[in-house]
């Protein structure tokens, strides 16, 4: 039993507040602890008043053989058992400062000899004790108390006791606030540090554990031993185990180390067909008086007289442009080595078949081509390989790769950059035949060569650029071709097609005569402006068109203008031409119109005015 004075009851109340604050440091709130431990024993001070000895180091300690004098103090009728009959708190495992994982509650078994009190003093003590146990600070019988907030832990056990390491807090902020709670002793601070480490572990991504528990990349065995934590039996170091039948949080075994996983590079096939890029600058070029490079006379015969060996060319390519291997695993195939003026429909078919053959084995393709007829080849590949759904980037150069001021190096790097753009940020998937030249990426069947000497030799006058390449690659993604439908390769072309410009004053009956009779099957007629041509009979254009279309010549009407709409119906001549069967669909480049006419002659089910690969 306890002998108390009014002053001791005040000490008890203050001590109870301290114990309430210590509950926020990571130790367990208990309705049987906090207030009760300060009421268990009290010793008499020199002035005859009772004082608490549980927290006063100056209190004299009596020997164990000294008989103890106690006085019974009646408790308020709250249903709580008498204080002296409550069981002593069990020894708990906490993260102590010594690192052994054990700490003890403050001792409540100190025996002191208290002098006998007078009746008046005893009466005052009893009144004070009764007021304490029945007042606002009384030890209530309910299972909840107003304690300092504790970092919430999700457990299925009715008590928040955590075995092994502290259970992960729901947030690092809660762990930090609890560690800073007033009145926290050494064991409480260590437990707070444990809660902070657990909160950090809880913030890491969780992965599925084979046992059904969530796992997290938490601290290692060495960290657990350094913190002085005692793990459960059978639990490895770095394992968080919550008491009770609730779920447990398990850390990945061993120290958390970062692993670098090498992502495989895409495979890119370079197809070489000839052109300036592969020429020998010493044999094919010479300097004029102004020290400018000029194509040597007969350079085509000199540069293309021998067969290129793919191994040697690839070795030279990667030696001169070693950065190519940072983008992809590069292979090279030499299909042929021709001046592009000698490349025609049969070569287009050969290129298309090579691309079709290698399509399952490579992620992207770069076709090296001469500049003179590159626009024709690009248009042909886009039509023959409809729905290819992989990048086919065509490029070349105005100077040989080995020339000092060549543009070939940058064109090759730009081409492989856009060809592999789906495999690196911003992950743009190019799914069409495109021309990459002079820092611009253009749709292949909309491209034209517009300059014979400038590095920016090509332009797309009827369609926006797909991307521009400078310090950054600026993609124009809304203009990329969205491929729909299945891949449909077609490898047949009818090369019996010519381009005819309408020239003022010329009579086609005399200039061209019976084209159909000479074996021509298609004509790309390049009219004025929006599609106008002379409508007077004396000029001969309308009578000639009427005769040739009646025999079976297929005519595609285009404009001599580089850009702008095609509207032949505005004028009388255009209306009459349309009535004769002249096809005057949306604008195509002259190069694409000629190739598509070759394509449609071999595939009568395909109409000139129906888009196949974004050419209209």
The answer to whether residues 369 and 287 belong to one domain is yes
- Residues 348, 364: one domain? yes
- Domain residues for the domain of 237 are 172-251
One domain, residues 434 and 295: yes
According to DSSP, the residues that pair with 117 across neighbouring strands are none
Same domain, 327 and 467: yes
Low-confidence residues of the chain, pLDDT below 70?
Answer: 1-262, 284-285, 290-309
Classify residue 435: in a domain, yes or no: yes
Do 467 and 503 have their domain in common? no
Residue 210 shares a structural domain with residue 285: no
Last residue of a domain, one of 489, 508, 532: 489
Active site residues: 276, 371
Residues 297 and 399 in one domain: yes
Between the alpha carbon of residue 3 and those of residues 431, 482, 496, the distances in Å are 91, 90, 121
d(CA 448, CA 461): 8
Tell me, yes or no, whether 141 lies in a domain: no
In a domain, 236, yes or no: yes
In this structure, what CATH number is given to the domain that contains residue 520? 3.40.50.40
Whether 155 is covered by a domain: the verdict is no
Residues 271 and 414 in one domain: yes
pLDDT value for 42: 42
Contact status, residue 66 vs residue 52, Cβ threshold 8 Å = no
Is residue 615 one of the residues assigned to a domain? no
Residue 146 lies in a domain: no
Q: Show binding-site residues for substrate.
A: 340, 371-372
Predicted confidence at residue 584, as pLDDT, reads: 83
**Final residue belonging to a domain, choices 439, 458, 489:** 489
Query: For residue 325, what pLDDT is reported?
Result: 93
What's the confidence (pLDDT) of residue 78? 45
Residues 118-133 pLDDT 10s: 556 555 555 655 555 5
- Which pLDDT does position 174 carry in this prediction? 41
229 φψ region: left (φ > 0), alpha (ψ -120 to 50), beta (else): beta
Name the DSSP class of 509.
H
Instruction: Tell me the H-state helices in 392-453.
Output: 408-419
Residue 607 lies in a domain: no
At residue 281, the pLDDT reads 76
Alpha carbon distance 104, 101 (integer Å): 10
Structural domain count, the chain? 4
- 88 and 55 within one domain: yes
Q: Which of 489, 521, 543 is the last residue of a domain?
A: 489
208 shares a domain with 129: no
Binding-site residues from annotation: 340, 371-372
Same domain, residue pair 332 and 442: yes
* Contact call for residues 379 and 591 (beta carbons, < 8 A): yes
Per the domain annotation, does 115 fall within a domain?
yes
**Could you tell me if 198 and 302 lie in one domain?**
no
For residue 346, the model assigns a pLDDT of: 97
The angle subtended at Cα 462 by Cα 460 and Cα 467, nearest 5°, is 45
Question: What length is written for the chain?
Answer: 616
């Amino acid at each position: 039993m306890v002998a108390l004075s009014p002053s001791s009851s005040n000490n008890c109340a203050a001590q109870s507040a301290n114990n309430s604050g210590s509950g926020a440091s990571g130790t367990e709130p208990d309705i049987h602890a906090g207030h009760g431990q300060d009421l268990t024993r009290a010793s008499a001070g020199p002035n005859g008043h009772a004082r608490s000895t549980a927290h006063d180091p100056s209190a004299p300690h009596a020997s164990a053989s000294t008989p103890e004098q106690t006085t019974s103090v009646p408790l308020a009728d709250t249903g709580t058992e008498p204080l002296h009959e409550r069981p002593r708190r069990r020894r708990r495992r906490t993260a102590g400062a010594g690192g052994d994982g054990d700490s003890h509650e403050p001792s409540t078994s100190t025996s002191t000899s208290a002098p006998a009190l007078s009746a008046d003093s005893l009466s005052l003590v009893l009144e004070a004790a009764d007021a304490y146990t029945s007042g606002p600070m009384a030890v209530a019988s309910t299972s909840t108390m107003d304690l300092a907030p504790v970092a919430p832990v999700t457990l299925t056990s009715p008590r928040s006791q955590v075995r092994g390491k502290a259970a992960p807090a729901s947030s690092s902020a809660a762990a930090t606030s609890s560690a800073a709670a007033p009145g926290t002793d050494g064991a409480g601070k260590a437990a707070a540090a444990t809660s902070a480490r657990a909160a950090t572990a809880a913030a890491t991504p969780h992965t599925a554990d084979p046992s059904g528990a969530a796992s997290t990349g938490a601290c290692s065995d060495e960290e657990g031993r350094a913190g002085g934590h005692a793990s459960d039996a059978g639990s490895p170091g770095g394992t968080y185990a919550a008491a009770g039948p609730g779920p447990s949080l398990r850390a990945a075994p061993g120290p958390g180390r970062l692993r670098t996983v090498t992502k495989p590079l895409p495979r890119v096939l370079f197809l070489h067909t000839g052109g300036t890029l592969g020429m020998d600058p010493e044999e094919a070029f010479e300097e004029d008086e102004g020290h400018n490079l000029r194509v040597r006379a007969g350079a085509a015969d000199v540069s293309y007289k021998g067969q290129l060996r793919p191994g040697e060319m690839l070795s030279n390519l990667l030696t001169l442009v070693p950065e190519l291997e940072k983008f992809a695993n590069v292979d090279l195939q030499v299909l042929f080595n021709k001046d592009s003026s000698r490349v025609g429909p049969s070569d287009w078919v050969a290129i298309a078949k090579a691309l079709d053959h290698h399509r399952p084995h490579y992620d992207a393709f770069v076709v090296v081509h001469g500049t003179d007829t590159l626009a024709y080849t690009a248009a042909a590949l886009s039509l023959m390989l409809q729905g290819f759904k992989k990048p086919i980037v065509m490029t070349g150069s105005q100077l040989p790769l080995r020339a000092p001021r060549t543009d070939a190096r940058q064109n090759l790097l730009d081409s492989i950059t856009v060809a592999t753009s789906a495999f690196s940020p911003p992950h743009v998937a190019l799914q069409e035949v495109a021309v990459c030249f002079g820092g611009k990426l253009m749709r292949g069947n909309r491209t034209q060569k517009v300059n014979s000497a400038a590095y920016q030799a090509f332009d797309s006058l009827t369609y926006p650029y797909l991307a521009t390449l400078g310090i950054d690659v600026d993609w124009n993604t809304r203009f990329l071709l969205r491929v729909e439908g299945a891949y449909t390769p077609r490898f047949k072309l009818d090369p019996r097609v010519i381009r005819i410009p309408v020239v003022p004053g010329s009579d086609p009956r005399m200039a061209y005569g019976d084209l159909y009779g000479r074996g021509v099957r298609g004509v790309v007629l390049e009219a004025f402006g929006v599609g106008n041509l002379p409508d007077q009979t004396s000029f001969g254009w309308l009578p000639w068109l009427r005769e040739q279309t009646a025999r079976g010549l297929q005519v595609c009407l285009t404009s001599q203008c580089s850009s702008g709409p095609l509207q032949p119906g505005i004028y009388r001549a255009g209306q009459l031409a349309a009535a004769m069967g002249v096809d005057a669909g949306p604008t195509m480049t002259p190069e694409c119109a000629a190739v598509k006419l070759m394509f449609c002659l071999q595939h009568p089910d395909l109409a000139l005015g129906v888009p196949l690969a974004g050419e209209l």
